[in-house]
Amino acid sequence: MNWLFVAAGAMAGAPLRFLTDRFVQARHDSVFPWGTFAVNVVGSLVLGLVTGAVAAGAGSSRLHLLVGTGLCGALTTYSTFSYETLRLAADGARWPAAANAAASVAAALGAVFAGVGLAHVLWA
């Protein structure tokens, strides 16, 4: 039965990722993959918030399956991040590729820690 929560979250997360990526990328005239960067950072923040809420007893394991695993799992995209970084490097944009790799990891980790911290402030 848990798989239904994951599937329901993913059904919302996948189109949200696509639409958000297109919306953000259309507003930037650069080779940097801002859309993928944005969904990965926002998804990490939401995952941290949900994980912190569940750890504090303010959310259920079903909430974690629905939002954490399903929505955030489909919203964020490591494979696209990897592919876009590879494409930048292969196209000769080595600095943007390196910046994408470093900034994406740093920002996503910062966002998940911020989400957990925010959950602690709100529910601990």
Residue positions forming the annotated binding site: 73, 76
Summarize the annotated binding site for Na(+) as residue ranges. 73, 76
Dihedral-angle region of residue 76 (phi above 0 means left; psi in -120 to 50 means alpha; beta otherwise): beta
Of 110, 99, 94, 124, the C-alpha closest to 48 is 110
Of 56, 42, 62, the C-alpha closest to 111 is 42
Q: Based on the number of CB atoms within 10 Å of its own CB, is 44 exposed (0-12), middle (13-18) or buried (19 or more)?
A: buried
